[in-house]
Amino acid sequence: MVELIVFDAYNIVMTHPFVLLSILASLPFQTSSGFHVSIGLNEVLDPFIFGEPTDALLAQLQTVDTSVLGSTFLTIDDEGETQWTIAVRNEVTLVTPRLGNHLLISYVEVEDGHVKSIDLFNPTIRTVSLPSYTLDVNTTNLRFSSTLTIAPLQPLKLHFVEGENAMEISAETLWNETITSISFYQDQDVIDRLDLNTIDMSRYGAIDSSSFHLYRDSKSLDAYVTYDPLTWMHRPLAEEKHTFELAQPTITPLEQAKRWAEFVMYGDGMFAAGRVEEAFRSIEQEYVGMHPTSQQLIFDQPNTKITGINESSQQDTSTFREAVGRYNYLAARVENAQGLQSPVAPTWDVTGIVIPSVGVGSLILLFLFLKQRQRVY
């Protein structure tokens, strides 16, 4: 049976307060009813979260529809049953591209317990030179060669080869010691610090080999003073190396707004009798988790149509306006709940109203004056 390494959700929040929710998207945690994992709309489930993929596991994961909000329940039988809840959530859905503002380590090649190579990645839209960056190799701080630059959204591969210790980091850096620790700095601020002597697990569980690939999560662009197992995944070194790419949006704002409206009309907001607060809190959570642009579209395009299966098991058509109406109907029946209104209040240009009004009024007065003169003469 594959051993599942499950992180405690409370301790994650307490010890990693700045971990992005999108990083937690594929992080399993245990509940009283089994294991739980959240995923974004249209996101592909990572099978390695559940253990080494088998044909049976992959077939079960194919049954999970990530194009709709809500939960799917699976029983995974791998020499012992485990219960999984797969929740498709708005708060971990990527709607707009995510870019970084500094370089980062995206990959580490580890062979026989020491670093053989690393990849730096430029998550910005500008070419970056490396004068302001340094790298600690074990305990030696080195600057980068002045000729090194990294193009936008591209990696820079750095290899360590046996030889007399170099005075600076280049594409191939000579080094005559076993490298077990590397730290990456920008202007003396730590971006990444990796000490192989203390790294024994990643998001995929326990690292039980001395030779492996170590990949950064494609949504994790923050600086980390210490190694965070939530932001790294390991795979056997015998496997082909993967290419690091920034996570891309999986849905447009309009489609996200539609998925929410469908969730209100044909999902958790549909059968609310006897569970009004539960239903409301569920659709409220998904509204709050939406991208602001998606929220605004619900009010800007109130007649946008959605379809689904209604309470009578019939194909039905509704609109954004009706979804907001049902949301507000449920909110009115839940203590301390608030209904929805457009997140951006309309702005009125006073001069645009007053000046035309004065102009029209003047024309009316002029017209009356001329009519009066006609009567006099």
Q: Rounded to whole angstroms, what are the CA distances from 177 to 30, 55, 114, 137?
A: 42, 43, 10, 10
Instruction: Judge contact between 319 and 305, C-beta under 8 A.
Output: yes
Percent helix, percent strand, percent coil in the chain, to nearest 5: 25, 30, 45
Amino acid at position 364, single letter: I
Going by their DSSP bridges, the two strands 232-236 and 212-216 should be labelled as antiparallel
Under a CB-based contact definition with an 8 Å cutoff, are residues 74 and 86 in contact? yes
In the block, tokens 């049953």 appear at 81
Domain ranges of the chain: 9-89, 104-236, 253-331, 347-377
Query: What local confidence, expressed as pLDDT, does residue 27 receive?
Result: 55
Q: How big is the CA angle at 300 (ends 297 and 306), to the nearest 5 degrees?
A: 60
- Pair of tokens at residue 78: 């791998």
In this structure, what token pair is assigned to residue 132?
């302001």
Determine contact, residues 207/237, Cβ cutoff 8 Å: no
Q: What is the Rg, in whole angstroms, of the alpha carbon atoms belonging to the chain?
A: 29
DSSP state of 243: P
Helix (H) or strand (E) holding 89: strand 81-89
Please tell us whether the domain made up of 104-236 is placed in CATH 2.60.40.
Answer: yes
- Residue 82: predicted pLDDT: 77
The pTM for the full model equals 0.77
pLDDT (tens place) for every residue of the chain, 377 residues total: 333 334 333 343 333 333 344 444 445 555 555 788 889 999 999 888 877 778 888 888 889 999 999 999 888 776 667 788 999 999 999 999 889 999 999 999 999 999 999 999 999 999 999 989 999 999 999 999 999 999 999 999 999 999 999 999 999 999 999 999 999 999 989 999 999 999 999 988 899 999 999 999 998 999 988 999 989 999 999 999 999 999 999 999 999 999 999 999 999 999 888 899 999 999 999 999 999 999 999 999 999 999 999 999 999 999 999 999 999 999 999 999 999 988 764 444 444 444 444 454 554 454 444 444 444 44
Residue 11 CB partners (closer than 8 Å, separation 6+)? none
- Residues with Cβ within 8 Å of 239's Cβ and at least 6 positions away in sequence, in order, are 213
